[in-house]
C-alpha cells in the first residue's frame, strides 16, 4: 500500500512535506489536497487509503519532528480534499492526529491542534463518534505548558463545542463517566475547561444535564474552594443555574445529591459551606418524600452550621432546621427516628451552645410526635440526657429538664431521673451549689412541686452519706422557703394541722428533713407545728450545735423577716394563742450565746432580729 502511495504522490512533494520550513510543508499539503480531490472524483478510495497510510506510518509516527509536522498537515489536506466523502476515512485519519497530542515536541502538539481543527471544519458532526477521545485530549491540552499549544487548543475547543451543540448524535450517557472522572483534577486550567463544557452542554435543550447532575455535582462544589477567584465564580454560576433548574423541574434525584451536599456542608471552606447549606435549604422545601430517608444525614449537616462563625450560614441553617422540624413524616415513608436521635445525641456534645440547644429541641419534637417510637430508643439516650444536666449553659439545662419532664411521665423514668439528680449532686457539690436551685425549681414547674419533693424525700431517707443528706435537705429546704414556684406547696404545708393532704405531705418531708435539725425546725415553723418545733430545739445536744448549724440558723432568722413568714409575725400579735411559737423563738434565741467568738458579729445581728420579733411584754429587762 505504501508503494502505491509513493506512485501516487511525487517524491518532491513528499520531501517538501518533511521540510523544516512551514511554507514548503504547506505547499506540499496543497498538492496532496489536489491529488486527493482527483482520486475522490474518480472514486479511487483504495488509493486514498494508501495515501493516508503513508502519511500516518512514514510521517506522523516518524522519529523526525518535521516529518510528524508534515504528516499532520498532510492528513488535514486529505480531509479537505475529500470534503463530503471524508467521513468514510475518519477512522484512519483521526487516531494518528489524536496520538500527536501526546507528542513531546510542543510544535507537533500545536500542529496536531491545527490539523484536527481543519478536519473538524470539514466533517463537522461526523466526528462526534470520537468526541470522548477528543474531549480527553483537549482536557489535557488545556493545561499544556506551552502557551501557543493552549491557544490552539482553545480555538479547537470552541469549534468542537459549536459542532456538539448542533449535533443530534452526541451521547451524553457515554460522556458523563469521562466527565465524572475528570472532575477531580485540581489544575485550574482544566477546571475552567470542565466548567465551560458543563455550562455549554446544559444550555442545549436536547441534552439533559440536570438528570446527570449527581455525577459531577461534587466536583463543582470542590471548585468553590479553588484558589482562583475566576474558577470559584464560574463554578458558583454553574451551580446557581442548576439550582434554578431544579426549582423548575418536576423530576429531580434529590437523594443522591443530598448525600453530596451533606458532605460539603462540613467543608472547611466558608463559601462551600454556605452554598451547600443553601442547596440543602431548597431541597428541604422541594424534596418532599424523596428526602425522608436522608433527614438524619441532613440534620447532621445542619446542626453544626447553626453555630457557624459566618452569620449568613447560621441564618440559613436555622431556617433549614425549622423547615425540617416542621415536616411531619412517619416510618412508613422511610422516616428513621433512631437515626435522627443518634444525630441529636451526638450534637449534645457539641462545643457550641446553639447547636446543643437545637439538638434538645429535636428530642422534644420527636418525643411529642411519637412517644412510643421514641421510647424504643430511650435506653441509648437517657444517660446522655442525664449527663447534659451538668452542662455549663443554663439555657441548655432548662431544655434538658423539659425533655426529662416529658420522659418522666412514666413513673419509673421519673424515679430514675430523681435518683440520678441525687447521685449527681452527691458527686458534684459545686453543681448543687450553683445549679441546684435552678434544676429543682424548674422540675417543680414541669412535674409538680409536691411530686418532686416527695420523691426527693423518699430517696434521701435511705441516703448513707449523712453529711450529704443534711446538705441536700438544707438546699431543698431553702428552695422550699424562698422560691415562688413552690408557693402552693408552702400553702399546703401551712394547713398541715387541719388538712389531711397537708399533714400527709408534712410527714413525707419530715422523714428526710430530720437529717438537718434546722431544716426540721423550718419545716415545723412553715407547717405551724410550733409545739414540735420547740421540742426539736430542746432536744438538740451539744454535738448538734456546730458552725454549719449556726449558718443555717442565721439563714432561718433572716427568712423570718420575709413575706413567707408574714403569718408567723402576725401571730405574735396574739401571744396568748401562740405560746408554743413564743417558746420556739425563745429557744432559737437561747441557742445564740453558744456561737464561737469569731462569729460575735453574727450573734449580735441575729439576737436583735429575734428580739425585734418578740412582743415587748415578753422580754426580760
Residue-wise pLDDT tens digits, 492-540: 999 888 889 989 999 999 999 999 888 998 899 998 998 998 898 888 8
DSSP string of 182-230, one letter each residue: HTT---HHHHHHHHHHHHHHHT-TT--TGGGHHHHHHHHHHHTT-S-HH
Q: Report the mean per-residue pLDDT for the chain.
A: 88
Q: What is the mean pLDDT of residues 20-33?
A: 92
User: 560 — phi, psi (to 5°)?
Assistant: -65, -20
Q: What is the per-residue pLDDT for 383?
A: 86
| Residue 611 pLDDT exceeds 90 | no
* Higher pLDDT pick, 593 / 582: 582
Sign, CA torsion 263/268/270/272 = negative
Query: Residue 237 in contact with residue 219, Cβ under 8 Å?
Result: no
| Residue 595 pLDDT exceeds 50 | no
Query: Residue 591 in contact with residue 563, Cβ under 8 Å?
Result: no
| Rounded-to-integer distance, Cα 220 and Cα 202, Å | 14
Residue 299 grid coordinates: 440534620
594 pLDDT band, cuts 50/70/90, is very low
Taking only the tens place, the pLDDT of each residue in 145-203 is 999 999 999 999 999 999 999 988 899 999 999 999 999 899 999 999 999 999 999 99
Q: What is the per-residue pLDDT for 615?
A: 58
Taking only the tens place, the pLDDT of each residue in 88-111 is 999 999 999 999 999 999 999 999
Taking only the tens place, the pLDDT of each residue in 540-577 is 866 667 777 778 888 888 888 888 888 888 888 888 88
Q: What is the per-residue pLDDT for 195?
A: 96
Up-side HSE of residue 468: CA atoms within 13 Å toward CB? Answer: 18
Query: Residue 406 in contact with residue 368, Cβ under 8 Å?
Result: yes
Q: What is the per-residue pLDDT for 597?
A: 37
* Higher pLDDT pick, 164 / 589: 164
Q: What is the per-residue pLDDT for 290?
A: 80
Nearest Cα residue to 53 out of 37, 74, 39: 74
Alpha-carbon Rg for the chain, nearest whole angstrom, is 44
Query: Residue 28 in contact with residue 51, Cβ under 8 Å?
Result: no
Share of the chain above pLDDT 70, in %: 93
Q: What is the per-residue pLDDT for 202?
A: 94
Q: Among the listed ranges 71-80, 200-209, 435-444, 609-618, which one has the minimum average pLDDT value? A: 609-618
| Rounded-to-integer distance, Cα 530 and Cα 517, Å | 14
| Rounded-to-integer distance, Cα 531 and Cα 553, Å | 18
Q: Which residues contact 106 (CB under 8 A, 6 or more apart)?
A: 144, 145, 146, 148, 149
First and final C-alpha spacing in the chain: 143
Eight-state DSSP code of residue 619: S
Taking only the tens place, the pLDDT of each residue in 352-363 is 999 999 999 999
Q: What is the per-residue pLDDT for 317?
A: 96
Q: What is the per-residue pLDDT for 620?
A: 42
Q: Among the listed ranges 464-468, 530-534, 606-610, which one has the minimum average pLDDT value? A: 606-610
Taking only the tens place, the pLDDT of each residue in 284-341 is 988 877 888 889 999 999 999 999 999 999 999 999 999 988 887 777 667 888 899 9
598 pLDDT band, cuts 50/70/90, is very low
State the greatest distance between any 2 C-alpha atoms of the chain, in Å, as a whole number: 149
Q: What is the per-residue pLDDT for 278?
A: 96
Q: Which residues contact 329 (CB under 8 A, 6 or more apart)?
A: 289, 292, 295, 335
> Which option is the CATH number for 1-170: 1.10.240.10, 1.25.10.10, 1.10.620.20, 2.60.40.1180?
1.25.10.10
Query: Residue 109 in contact with residue 69, Cβ under 8 Å?
Result: no
Taking only the tens place, the pLDDT of each residue in 364-381 is 998 888 888 888 888 888
Eight-state DSSP code of residue 395: H
Share of the chain above pLDDT 90, in %: 60
262 pLDDT band, cuts 50/70/90, is very high
Nearest Cα residue to 421 out of 393, 451, 447, 460: 460
Q: What is the per-residue pLDDT for 229?
A: 93
| Rounded-to-integer distance, Cα 59 and Cα 112, Å | 13
Q: What is the per-residue pLDDT for 516?
A: 87
Distance of CA 310 to the CA centre of its chain: 14
| Rounded-to-integer distance, Cα 105 and Cα 156, Å | 19
Q: What is the per-residue pLDDT for 193?
A: 95
> Residue 448: helix, strand or coil by DSSP?
coil
593 pLDDT band, cuts 50/70/90, is low
Q: What is the per-residue pLDDT for 613?
A: 58
Q: What is the per-residue pLDDT for 356?
A: 95
596 pLDDT band, cuts 50/70/90, is very low
Nearest Cα residue to 521 out of 550, 492, 487: 550
Sign, CA torsion 392/396/402/407 = negative
Write down the domain spans for the chain: 1-170, 530-620
Amino acid at each position: 500500500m505504501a508503494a502505491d502511495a509513493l506512485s501516487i504522490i511525487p517524491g518532491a512533494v513528499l520531501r517538501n512535506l518533511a521540510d523544516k520550513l512551514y511554507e514548503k510543508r504547506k505547499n506540499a499539503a496543497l498538492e496532496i489536497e489536489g491529488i486527493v480531490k482527483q482520486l475522490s472524483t474518480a472514486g479511487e478510495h483504495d488509493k486514498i487509503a494508501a495515501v493516508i497510510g503513508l502519511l500516518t506510518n512514514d510521517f506522523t509516527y516518524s522519529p523526525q519532528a518535521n516529518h510528524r509536522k508534515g504528516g499532520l498537515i498532510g492528513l488535514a489536506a486529505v480531509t479537505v480534499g475529500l470534503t463530503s466523502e471524508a467521513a468514510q476515512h475518519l477512522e484512519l485519519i483521526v487516531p494518528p492526529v489524536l496520538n500527536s497530542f501526546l507528542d513531546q515536541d510542543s510544535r507537533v502538539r500545536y500542529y496536531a491542534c491545527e490539523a484536527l481543527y481543519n478536519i473538524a471544519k470539514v466533517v463537522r458532526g461526523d466526528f462526534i463518534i470520537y468526541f470522548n477521545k477528543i474531549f480527553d485530549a483537549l482536557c489535557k491540552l488545556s493545561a499544556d505548558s506551552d502557551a501557543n499549544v493552549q491557544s490552539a487548543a482553545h480555538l479547537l475547543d470552541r469549534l468542537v463545542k459549536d459542532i456538539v451543540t448542533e449535533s443530534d448524535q452526541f451521547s451524553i450517557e457515554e460522556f458523563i463517566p469521562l466527565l465524572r472522572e475528570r472532575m477531580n483534577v485540581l489544575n485550574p486550567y482544566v477546571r475552567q475547561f470542565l466548567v465551560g463544557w458543563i455550562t455549554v452542554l446544559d444550555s442545549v435543550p436536547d441534552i439533559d444535564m440536570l438528570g446527570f447532575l449527581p455525577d459531577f455535582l461534587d466536583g463543582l462544589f470542590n471548585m468553590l474552594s479553588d484558589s482562583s477567584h475566576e474558577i470559584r465564580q464560574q463554578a458558583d454560576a454553574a451551580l446557581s443555574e442548576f439550582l434554578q433548574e431544579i426549582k423548575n423541574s418536576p423530576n429531580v434525584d434529590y437523594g443522591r445529591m443530598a448525600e453530596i451536599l451533606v458532605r460539603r456542608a462540613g467543608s472547611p471552606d466558608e463559601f462551600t459551606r454556605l452554598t451547600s447549606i443553601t442547596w440543602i435549604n431548597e431541597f428541604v422545601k422541594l424534596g418532599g418524600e424523596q428526602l425522608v430517608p436522608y433527614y438524619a444525614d441532613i440534620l447532621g449537616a445542619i446542626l453544626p452550621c447553626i453555630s457557624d462563625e459566618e452569620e449568613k450560614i447560621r441564618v440559613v441553617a436555622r431556617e433549614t432546621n425549622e423547615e425540617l422540624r416542621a415536616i411531619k413524616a412517619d416510618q412508613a415513608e422511610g422516616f428513621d427516628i433512631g437515626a435522627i436521635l443518634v444525630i441529636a445525641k451526638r450534637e449534645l456534645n457539641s462545643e457550641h451552645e446553639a447547636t446543643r440547644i437545637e439538638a434538645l429541641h429535636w428530642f422534644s419534637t420527636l418525643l411529642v410526635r411519637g412517644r412510643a417510637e421514641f421510647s424504643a430508643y430511650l435506653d441509648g439516650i437517657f444517660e446522655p440526657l442525664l449527663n447534659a444536666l451538668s452542662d455549663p449553659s443554663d439555657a441548655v439545662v432548662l431544655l434538658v429538664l423539659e425533655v426529662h419532664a416529658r420522659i418522666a411521665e412514666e413513673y419509673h423514668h421519673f424515679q430514675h431521673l430523681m435518683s440520678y439528680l441525687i447521685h449527681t449532686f452527691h458527686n458534684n457539690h459545686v453543681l448543687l451549689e450553683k445549679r441546684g436551685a435552678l434544676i429543682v425549681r424548674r422540675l417543680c414547674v414541669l412535674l409538680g412541686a409536691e411530686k418532686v419533693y416527695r420523691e426527693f424525700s423518699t430517696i434521701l431517707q435511705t441516703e448513707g452519706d449523712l453529711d450529704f443528706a443534711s446538705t441536700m435537705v438544707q438546699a431543698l429546704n431553702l428552695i422550699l422557703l424562698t422560691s415562688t414556684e413552690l408557693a402552693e406547696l408552702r400553702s399546703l404545708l401551712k394547713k398541715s394541722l387541719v388538712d389531711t393532704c397537708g399533714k400527709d405531705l408534712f410527714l413525707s418531708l419530715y422523714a428526710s428533713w430530720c437529717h438537718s435539725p434546722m431544716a426540721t425546725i423550718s419545716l415545723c415553723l412553715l407547717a405551724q407545728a410550733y409545739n414540735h418545733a420547740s421540742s426539736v430545739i430542746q432536744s438538740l445536744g451539744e454535738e448538734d450545735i456546730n458552725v454549719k448549724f449556726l449558718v443555717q440558723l442565721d439563714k432561718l432568722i433572716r427568712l423570718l423577716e420575709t413575706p413567707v413568714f408574714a403569718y408567723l409575725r402576725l401571730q405574735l400579735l396574739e401571744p396568748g394563742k401562740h405560746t408554743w411559737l413564743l417558746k420556739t423563738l425563745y429557744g432559737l434565741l437561747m441557742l445564740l450565746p453558744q456561737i464561737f467568738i469569731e462569729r460575735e458579729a453574727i450573734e449580735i445581728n441575729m439576737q436583735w432580729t429575734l428580739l425585734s420579733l418578740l412582743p415587748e411584754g415578753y422580754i426580760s429587762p
